[in-house]
Amino acid sequence: GQSLEQPSEVTAVEGAIVQINCTYQTSGFYGLSWYQQHDGGAPTFLSYNALDGLEETGRFSSFLSRSDSYGYLLLQELQMKDSASYFCAVRDLGSGYSTLTFGKGTMLLVSP
């Protein structure tokens, strides 16, 4: 089975940098994804790491260490609109088909 751990809540101020950590235990691992969900909205894709290292997309970066079963999402130059829940998700390829198992999510609160 899969289990993921991420903090339930993180707070920060506008303009700051915040890091959301994710550790996982899996029976099969092919990659780590990050999704953003605003209150009342749908999850939307942010990033995906299949290999160790850092992936950068604008203000957001995502890191993976497969040997440590650990990843993080880094958000820079925080804006009020970044207040949302952030989910890490492990990609599994059981039976040859790709599925995601999501963590419980981290609520990010950005204050002025």
Partner 1 sequence: DAGVIQSPRHEVTEMGQEVTLRCKPISGHNSLFWYRQTMMRGLELLIYFNNNVPIDDSGMPEDRFSAKMPNASFSTLKIQPSEPRDSAVYFCASSLRDRKDNEQFFGPGTRLTVL
Binding site for partner 1 (CB under 8 A): 31, 33, 41-45, 48, 50, 87, 91, 94-95, 97-105
Residues 6+ apart with CB under 8 A from 71: 21, 22, 24, 32, 49, 62, 63, 64, 65, 88
Residue (67 or 95) nearer to partner 1, CB: 95
Q: Are strands 31-37 and 84-92 parallel, antiparallel or unpaired?
A: antiparallel
Residue (57 or 79) nearer to partner 1, CB: 57
Q: Least separation, in Å, of the C-beta of 16 and partner 1?
A: 27
Q: Least separation, in Å, of the C-beta of 9 and partner 1?
A: 13
Q: Least separation, in Å, of the C-beta of 102 and partner 1?
A: 4
CA-nearest of 18, 47, 21 to 32 is: 47
Residue (79 or 99) nearer to partner 1, CB: 99
